[in-house]
Structure 1
Amino acid sequence: MTRLRVIWTVLYFCVHKRILAAGNNQCGDWVPLLESCYLFSDTRATWGAAMGICRGFHADLVSIESNDENLLIEGHLQNKHPHDADKTAADYWTGGNDIESEGNFKWIGSEQPFTYTNWMTGQPDPAEQDCVEIRGVSNFKWHDETCNHSHLFICEKSMGSPPDIIG
């Protein structure tokens, strides 16, 4: 296990267990990190379909607005995919996009421009790729991608959001 991976694992479990131990789990089956609840999907969908699924849960595709939030999500993904050697199956949609204006990325939930980024080298590129994914093969750095590809996805909602009612 690499030193970086050990650090991610320790960071993830320390923060995750601290939040749960504090009795602050208002997230049900979702993962509590910082002030939000996260659903890390096990199914694939296009960016638009993923957005619709998240909204069905009174959530949005994830908005990663700080290095701390990015490290916690990355740590969770490292733990979720520990044995995927090349991690090609570990690509996740975020709520980031530049659909309205090429090169001007914003978050779908808040409509706010990016103030924090974690792009992989060479990204974003000038191709017609309007949606942002977290790419497993690049150690969970960000990559702009064609929105009609199917990937896993991450939903985010604030703690204390309405409960999920299915049925």
Structure 2
Amino acid sequence: MERCYKFSTDRQPFYMAEESCQALGGHLVSVQNGFENAMLAETASSQNLGSPFYIGYNRMVSSGWTWIDGYNASTFTNWGQGQPDATSQCSVEALNGTWYSVNCASSHPYVCVFTSDIPPTTCPTCPAAPTCPSAPG
């Protein structure tokens, strides 16, 4: 599954950021591994996104912290020391890749993710043995 990202400098509360992502066909980003976490921080920094930026991790449901897009195939987290705190329900990623819990009403830049199940196009297959045109004889 291909993943594409939109880095938005528009500072919004968590739910408005998620609505903006949904309007474009995506969600706030679910961070699947350390490589993606580092890529997000590095790209946000190079695009002057501002820090920290919203990711889609929240604890709005009684089951604890979950990804807003339903992603649950990974247990990767990168909380800062003493995080998450006991009262904040949403999360942001700092430009060093560390996560912090924040009040969902606070406004931050954000990152949307878009996924595609469309397989990449394939090239036509070539014959096993190349053929050359016959030389005139």
Does the alignment pair 1:157 with 2:118? no
- The runs of 5 or more residues in structure 2 that have no matched partner are 119-137
RMSD over aligned CA atoms reads: 2.2
TM-score by length of 2: 0.77
- The runs of 5 or more residues in structure 1 that have no matched partner are 1-33, 82-86, 162-167
CA contact (8 A) 1:107 1:113 kept: no
**Given the superposition, is the C-alpha separation of residues 115 and 92 from structure 1 closer, same or farther in structure 2, using an over 3 Å criterion?**
same
Q: Higher helix proportion, which one? A: 1
**Shift, 1:101, TM fit:** 2.3
Identical pairs, percent: 28
Greater relative CO (CA pairs within 8 A, separation 6+) = 2
In terms of Rg, which structure is larger? 2
Deviations along 1:68-108, whole A, 9 cap, x unmatched? 11121122123223xxxxx9x42111110011127x21100
**Given the superposition, is the C-alpha separation of residues 113 and 48 from structure 1 closer, same or farther in structure 2, using an over 3 Å criterion?**
farther
What are the equivalent positions in structure 2 for 1:75-94 lying under 5 Å apart?
Answer: 75-81=42-48, 89-94=50-55
TM-score by length of 1: 0.64
Does the alignment pair 1:121 with 2:88? no
Q: Which letter maps to 1:108?
A: I
Q: Higher strand proportion, which one? A: 2
Provide the rounded CA distance (Å) in 2 between the counterparts of 1:45 and 1:105.
21
Deviations along 1:111-165, whole A, 9 cap, x unmatched? 5386100111111111x200011124xx23100100000000100011468xxxx
Paired residues in the alignment total: 118
Q: Which letter maps to 1:73?
A: L
Provide the rounded CA distance (Å) in 2 between the counterparts of 1:49 and 1:113.
26
Provide the rounded CA distance (Å) in 2 between the counterparts of 1:142 and 1:36.
21
Does the alignment pair 1:51 with 2:18? yes
- Aligned partner of 1:110 in structure 2 is 70
CA contact (8 A) 2:80 2:98 kept: yes
**Given the superposition, is the C-alpha separation of residues 135 and 74 from structure 1 closer, same or farther in structure 2, using an over 3 Å criterion?**
closer
